[in-house]
Structure 1
Amino acid sequence: MSQRQSKPRTPREPTIALINVVFLMLVFFLIAGTIAAPLDPRVRLVETDELEGRAPPDAAVVLADGSLLLDGRSITPEALAETGPILRLVPDRELPASELVSLSRSLREAGAEEVWVVTERGLQ
């Protein structure tokens, strides 16, 4: 009589246990996490529609045509990079993003350590 040799079973990976752990972590963080309380309905937020927008005093303004202004005077990117290691740019809304990226890159190559873009932020 010949007996069949059974193949040794390979151990299964514990994927069910992993799924259970991930699910328990999800439930834990949902319960333990804090959710921001809604704003009190009696609070009326300040409206800033009528305010005049101004650039920070140490920021350079980038016009829609790509020219730079610092303190109201025209300046080159190389001269702007020499004003300090951290530069702030206030770009015009109509300035193409590719030109802003190119300008930022040229400022970094000219010696600026950091280039910050100052934008307008509003509550929705």
Structure 2
Amino acid sequence: MKRPAPRRPREPTIALINVVFLMLVFFMVAGTLAPSQERGIDLVETADLEGRAPPDALVIMADGELRYRGSVLTSASAYLDRPDSRPRDVVRLMPDRALPAADLLRIGAELRAAGVERVVISTMRGQE
């Protein structure tokens, strides 16, 4: 009589699949928590700079139009008159790549004249 072949122990693949699925769900949720950028804007590219994500930035389109959270503003000082309670000593700008530098300087000067201490310009990190 033949002996039955010894069975190999089962691998815990179900546990591995569960861990991978939970990681996938975590990264999907974490990726949707950050506010998205305005549509139709190409950021200026820079390299070797340390930066942070701009959660509440004043977006400047290529034609000079100012937007904040999807709404169009009439002037840079109108950004400071927003009803939220965020500090107004530092303002983040997200200019379009095609925006003329003179317009960017004019908007920065307008913000400084309105009492802003620091104007931070957000750019896209360049390829190294």
Range of TM-score over shorter length: 0.5 to 0.7
Structure 2 residue aligned with 1:122: 126
Whether 1:79 and 2:78 are equivalent positions in the alignment is: yes
Per the alignment, do residues 62 and 70 of structure 1 end up closer, same or farther by CA in structure 2, a change over 3 Å counting? same
Tell me the equivalent position of 1:104.
108
How far the C-alpha of 1:91 sits from its partner, in A, is 0.3
Contact kept in structure 2, 1:85 and 1:114, CA below 8 Å = yes
- Give unpaired runs (5+ residues) of structure 1: 1-52
How big is the shift at 1:82?
Answer: 4.0
SS at match of 2:116: coil
Kindly report which structure 2 residues correspond to 1:1-124, keeping only aligned pairs within 5 A, or say none. 54=37, 56-75=54-73, 76-82=75-81, 84-124=88-128
Q: Percent identity?
A: 40
- Structure 2-normalised TM-score? 0.51
In the TM superposition, what whole-angstrom CA distance separates every residue of 1:44-96 from its partner, at most 9, and x where no partner exists?
xxxxxxxxx83632101101111110000012211213451110000011100
2 CA distance for matches of 1:82 and 1:88? 15
RMSD: 1.8
How many residue pairs were aligned? 72
Is the CA contact 1:64–1:94 (under 8 Å) kept in the aligned structure 2? yes
Please, what TM-score do these two structures have when normalized by structure 1? 0.53
Relative distance call for 1:112 and 1:81 in structure 2 (3 A) is farther
Q: C-alpha distance in 1, partners of 2:61/2:119? A: 17
Give 4+ residue runs of structure 1 displaced > 6 Å after superposition: none
In structure 2, the gaps of 5 or more residues are 1-35, 39-53, 83-87
SS of structure 2 residue aligned to 1:87: strand
Q: Which has the larger radius of gyration?
A: 1
